[in-house]
Structure 1
Amino acid sequence: MSQGNSVADAVAVNPLQSLRGVSVLLGVISTPLALWQESFLLFAGLCYWLACGLSWQTMSRRNRLQALVLSGIGAGAALLAWLLANPVDFSGLLKGNIALISMLVAVSFLGLVSQPDLAEGEQLPTGKRSILGTLLGVHFFGAVINLSALFILGDRMSQRRSLSRAQVVALTRAFSAAAFWSPFFAAMGVALTYAPEARLSELMFSGAFLAMAALVVIFFTVRRLSVHERFEGYPLRLNSLWLPSLLAVAVLLVHYLYPQLSILFIITLSAPLICLFTLLLRGSVAAPLRGHVHGRLANMTNEVVLFLSAGVFSFGLQSLLAGQGSLLPFSEFNAWTAGLSYGFIMLLAVSGLHPVIGISLIGPLLMPLQPDQSMLGIIFLSSWALGSAAGPLSGMNISIQGKYGIDGMQIMRWNMPYMLGMSVLVMLTLLVFERI
């Protein structure tokens, strides 16, 4: 996700952009209400599609093409399923991934209140501690405010010159590793959408192990690279990590106390409320929220349309496969078949497709095998964490390319060995998980 959380975003906003922002806001407000009246979910879907329609001309060409292809295949598959006399609830075309999208929108509000402190004129630190501080900073802040953290740290580190290879490796790998475990990351929303019975505690525990291993690997890689080039890191302060830590603990606690509530619902409801409460304590509410709605929310449609179209694609595929049994060349779901599924999603990711496309394809195909939902969630989280780092057209790498002028294919070449090495650890994790 890109920056856009400042009050200045409200300046020079045209009416069309304002309408997009309000449409997205109505979508996120309507989603929790669906617990009491399901029709609110349809209304949220209409709001999100309206926002995407209003920004169709300004949307990236790649996103428009992917949305058309995925939505076309999904709608066609649902129609074919209906012609074949399969039961099809066509309202599912509008409801797919709505809870996930609303979680992403809700999390964006945290960027208003959870940002690392900046001190003007402060010298960038060097040495081992600077590497560690940079990795922890981008990882934990990225786990909460997503791409905004990447840009905050990246802008500060590139003040004097363009980002070095060591800095790019540190930022991209440490940021994407948050997808292994963070409940606020889009990856967790996708995992819980396509593996709804997965246990959050198991996903976060296994994901935290993989993330810690990744950070260790990244630290030694960056230290080796910094032998040949001076590494200037980010001046992290530990007292600024209290809010990301508090948020993660709060989500786990609420989920423990009210297990009937989904994680997506808890985050969708709690993130904006935490933001509102913090802004009230600071004494400024209306201006930051107005700027966020007309700026950040109005500009989220590139992300929203991808998840909307992936939801249509997955719904159509599920409707067509209903009652057909498994079409995969194996009859049971175990660590090895999980590894093959993970490899398939990763292959699509490095080919330039977003991980959510591979997940929305493989998820319905695996369901007839009655897979362990937590193991399924692990492969979804891992493919996102590593596919984002190595995929040349991932949202993160495209953002790095556009903002700092570093070629996406170059980033892929730098991160490919890391992805392959970590994939071995993912496979070992699946083997251990199967035997527990």
Structure 2
Amino acid sequence: MDRTLSRQRLAGALALLGLIAQLVGFTPWADTTQGVSYLFWAAVALLWKDIPKRSRTQAAVLIILSCAMLLLARLGYGADIQWTRVLDGNVFVVAMLIGVSFISLVGSQENTRASGKRLTGSGGILRTWLGVHFLGTILNLSTIFMVGDRIARRRPLSMPQYLALNRGLSSAALWSPFFASMGLVIALAPEVRYGHIALLGFPLALLSGLFTTVELNRRFDLAEVDGFSLSPRSLLMPLCMAAGVMLFHFWLTPTLSIVSIITFLIPAVAVCANLRHGGVQTVKRLRLHTFSRLPAMRGELSLFLAAGLLTTGLSTLVNAAAGENWTLFAHFGTFQAMASFIAITLSALAGLHPIIGISILASVLELGAGEQTLFAFVALSAWSVGTSVGPLSGINLSLQGRYGVGSYAMMRNNFVYAGVMSLLSLGAIAGLGRVGV
């Protein structure tokens, strides 16, 4: 067997073992966080050569900076560092990402079939946005390819279609409990009130779809621009998954976080859905997923783990240099939240993934229980706007790699959208800050 293939398969197996270890950690039997972090980092190390150059460079810079800060904290300030646990950052989020990937084993792309009637014009753009948005709440980045490939069958994608795909998915970060952004903020702010986030984030996401439809209709001739439409049955999966998460969160396992519930629920549903095809076929599909899909997540896994290490390194250095009681803001209120949103969004324009800005912000804050929901909404809204316009975001790099559209062309065409969504987000942040949740 080819060495590269063997290495990738081993990495996939380690990632799966890390997920299993994480699930064991949800029980009272053992604390597996440290073992999970070693398994995930080992998987990334094996896949390091295969990570796209830009993602690998970002991850490498984060790792080097993190190690330098840890060494400076230890040698320069005498900080007591638990070296065996410095790799633990963001393992909950990475486990959730791996768990969510198993949703691809539920059903097939035929479930997202379009209606027989051709959809064009602003109605087609709106339905493309809706399809990507609601499927993307569960399927995440894979939705871009699922929907994009279908509407590209007639002719190559055009800029309005790229923008509808981009904005439909990025806006799901505002409220979806299954998105990596939500996993990150819940890990950083465990006392966040998801209900408040959804009440603000979902309407804001719908405004994104409305603005996209109106703006693209004014800027482009959409008469021959094809859209995408879901059959009603296709929305059952996102709705059922969301209902299942709420069932476990409020009644069956109220002590577990939403991130933890998603991490075990989606793989469990995937296995149960495949058992109707027989045990042998189920094992074959799980094996293919482990050896093919999990190694393909190398860019996401490396970035999230490196960002977690950065959070650990920066917070350790700050605590050592300024004292454990130092924070960037003595109080995280409306002004501080708005300034933080602007800073993270501008860093995304400069090419940094929003996770980096969010992680840095979290590492220099000491959030009270009443401030965590405001912080979470700042992070989610900055993630949504930042990934839509950022030239090096996963969404724009995926569109570039799959369909050839330039990331900087996407950035230029999203400037107005980013400005409008930033103003709406700042207004929502102001309103949430006044409520004082």
TM-score by length of 2: 0.91
Structure number with the bigger relative contact order (C-alpha 8 A, sep ≥ 6) is: 1
Alpha-carbon contact 1:80-1:320 (below 8 Å) kept? yes
Provide Cα deviations, 1:298-352, integer angstroms capped at 9, x if missing partner: 2111111111111111011122223344453x54211111010011111111111
Q: Residues 18, 166 of structure 1: CA spacing in aligned structure 2 closer, same or farther, 3 A cutoff?
A: same
Q: What is aligned with 1:3?
A: none
- C-alpha contact (below 8 Å) 1:78/1:320 kept by paired residues: yes
Deviates more, 1:49-58 or 1:263-272: 49-58
Greater mean deviation of Cα atoms: 72-81 or 167-176:
72-81
Structure 1 regions of 5+ residues with no counterpart?
Answer: 1-10
How far off is 1:178 after superposition?
0.5
The one of 39, 53, 71 equivalent to 1:47 is 39
1:108 aligned to which of 78, 101, 104: 101
Once the two structures are superposed, residues 369-418 of structure 1 have per-residue CA deviations (whole angstroms, 9 ceiling, x without a partner) of 87700000001111111111000010110110111111110100111111
Q: Please point out which of 259, 263, 272 is paired with 1:264.
A: 259
Q: From the superposition, tell whether residues 369 and 73 of structure 1 become closer, same or farther in structure 2 (CA, over 3 Å).
A: farther
Maintained 8 Å contact 1:390/1:415: yes
| Counterpart position of 2:170 | 176
Deviation at 1:72, TM superposition (A): 2.1
Give the residue type in structure 2 aligned to 1:212. L
In structure 2, what residue type is equivalent to 1:391? G
- Indicate whether 1:279 and 2:279 are aligned: no
Alignment-derived partner of residue 5 in structure 1: none
Q: 1:242 maps to which residue?
A: 236
Match of 2:406 in 1: 407
1:253 partner letter: L
Which consecutive residues of structure 2, in runs of 5 or more, have no partner in the other structure? none
Quote the residue 2:142 is aligned against: 148
2:17 is matched with: 26
Between stretches 188-197 and 34-43, larger displacement belongs to 34-43
Amino acid at match of 2:286: L
Q: Kindly tell me: are residues 320 and 221 of structure 1, through their superposed partners in 2, closer, same or farther at Cα, counting changes over 3 Å? A: same
Q: What is the CA distance between 1:106 and its match in structure 2?
A: 0.3
Change (3 A) 1:48 1:332: same
User: AA paired with 1:288?
Assistant: R
Matches within 5 A, 1:19-418: 19-35=10-26, 36=28, 39-83=31-75, 84-113=77-106, 115-116=108-109, 117=111, 124-227=118-221, 230-257=224-251, 258-283=253-278, 284-322=281-319, 323-326=323-326, 328=328, 330-367=329-366, 372-418=371-417
Report the TM-score, using the length of structure 1 for normalisation.
0.92
Percent identical among aligned pairs is 36
Pairwise CA distance, 1:14: 2.4
- Evaluate the alpha carbon distance shift between residue 432 and residue 98 of structure 1 in structure 2; reply closer, same or farther with a 3 A threshold: same
What is the CA-CA distance between 1:366 and the residue it aligns to? 2.3
Aligned partners of 1:25, 1:335: CA distance in 2, in Å?
41
Instruction: Please give the alpha-carbon distance, in whole angstroms, between the structure 2 residues aligned to 1:207 and 1:376.
Output: 13
Cα deviation for residue 427 of structure 1 reads: 0.9
CA distance in 1, matches of 2:204, 2:326: 30
Contact 2:89 2:312 in 1 (8 A): yes
